[in-house]
Amino acid sequence: MTVITYGTFDLFHIGHLQLLERAKALAGEGGRLIVGVSTDRFNWEEKRKRSAIPYDQRAAIVAALRCVDLVIPEDDWDMKRDILEYNVDIFTMGSDWTGKFDHLKEVCEVVYLPRTEGISSEC
């Protein structure tokens, strides 16, 4: 199975790692995890967030994790395009996004994973 998730992954912390490990577990034995890392442009122009760490470094950190098989840039909200291009079986995000991506159920399974309590780089 192929699983995809997205995030900024700025100021990488244990909650990020646990989310990615849970996402990889969804892929099962021999499955793969694709992670879309938000570009600096997308973060600023679309999300109105400034990253502390530049995209290239955030992408390299995520790519270095053994649970991650492929990192792609997230430069817009068109996850459906990536799902189709990479033949994704499961789209997953943290539970703080519950319901916001249900429209993707027409092309793959959508799973919202629990967040790690008390951990967030948005505090």
- Mean per-residue pLDDT pooled into runs of 10, the chain (123 residues): 96 93 96 97 90 96 98 94 97 93 96 78 47
Q: Which two three-digit tokens encode residue 6?
A: 């997205």
Catalytic residue list contains 100? no
Please say if 47 is a catalytic residue. yes
pTM of the model: 0.92
Q: Given this structure, which CATH class describes domain 1-66? A: alpha beta
The per-residue pLDDT for 120 is 57
Catalytic residue among 24, 47, 100, 105: 47
Beta partners for residue 70, in sequence order: 34
- Per-residue tokens: 102: 């249900």
